[in-house]
Amino acid sequence: MDAAAGQAAATGFGVPELIRKGLTWLLSRHHVRIFHYPGIWDRVRVTTWASGFQRLFALRDFEMHDEKGSLLASATSSWVLMNLRDRKPANPAGFLPGHLLHEVRAMAEDFPPLPKVDRPDVEIAFRVRMRDVDFNRHVTNGVYIHWALEAVPEDVLKSRRPKEIEVGFRAEAFYGDQVVSRTQRTGEGAAPAFVHQIVNIATGTELTRLRTVWE
């Protein structure tokens, strides 16, 4: 929710005002490319801006640079402005005035559907803990990535780092839910790749799809 709060504040509509209006920002998709990892104690600069709209989604992009100005990572994200009363999306244009938009993309991304895991190589189950949920009382965004990485083969985790992570959020998980993280390998060689899927065990609801590439 930190990023959502930042986006709301940047528009002049802070989180308390959005809540009074019965609205909240929900992250739908994000895609990160990592070019270089900073070292311990390195100073980095993160820049973010509202970059436009895609139908009823608001786009926000990010770049991370080191002290010399070299690009370390780029990211783009897609957000939906949700009406908490009827659980329907609201038009974000009224909350992102044109003069606050910087219509330059950190990454050219139209967010096509992510592939589904059809033959999982690994499955690991988790129970949602209280520490996993945010003030909206659903699992916070980063937790799904941790669950996905837990199902990556140990040899990859110990010898490589992610260079690309793409996430598509499809449904919510709540405290006490039982979920399963499924992973299927799709690429070999110098850059192993995986597709991931998080599913609610009790209902069969697909919560998240992910794609990772490693180097």
| Token couple for 205 | 């609801």
**pLDDT tens digits, 7-47:** 444 444 455 667 777 888 889 999 999 999 999 999 999 99
- Fold observed for domain 122-214: Thiol Ester Dehydrase; Chain A (3.10.129)
Q: What percent of the chain has pLDDT over 90?
A: 71
3-state helix, strand, coil in the chain (%, to 5): 20, 45, 40
* pLDDT tens sequence across 146-188: 999 999 999 999 999 999 999 999 999 999 999 999 999 997 7
3 pLDDT exceeds 90? no
Pairing label, strands 178-187, 193-200: antiparallel
Single-letter amino acid, residue 78: S
Q: What is the pTM of this model?
A: 0.85
Higher pLDDT, 138 or 73: 73
**The predicted structure's pLDDT at residue 7:** 47
Position 15 scores a pLDDT of 59
CATH pick for 2-100 out of 3.40.50.300, 3.10.129.10, 3.20.20.60, 3.40.50.1370: 3.10.129.10
Dihedral angle, C-alpha 116, 122, 127, 128, nearest 10 °:
-40
The residues that bridge with 139 in the sheet, in sequence order, are: 133
Mean per-residue pLDDT over the chain, rounded: 89
Q: What residue ranges do the domains of the chain occupy?
A: 2-100, 122-214
Q: State the sign of the Cα–Cα–Cα–Cα dihedral 93, 95, 97, 102.
A: negative
